[in-house]
Amino acid sequence: MNLLDFTVWGELEKKTNRTPHTNVDALKATIRTEWDNMSEEFLINSGKAFRCCVEAVIEVKEVT
């Protein structure tokens, strides 16, 4: 997993853990719902933030 994975999955986990789930099927349904409701803006901004991190690593590697 990378930083982008942690950002998206962290947000998904936060939203799905708001309420308890009585079984695995209920949890899966909530995950699907929250995934579908995740805004495009959030995903784009997460990607932009990750890109900055990648570019910083590349810059450091080019200098060393």
CA-based nearest residue to 46, from 2, 1, 8, 16: 8
* DSSP per-residue letters across the chain: --HHHHHHHHHHHHHHTTS--SSHHHHHHHHHHHHHHS-HHHHHHHHHHHHHHHHHHHHHHHH-
In tens, the pLDDT along 25-62 reads 999 999 999 999 999 999 888 888 888 778 888 888 88
Inter-residue contact 35 to 9 (CB < 8 Å) = no
- In this prediction the pTM is 0.67
pLDDT of residue 64: 74
pLDDT of residue 12: 94
Residue 1: pLDDT above 70? no
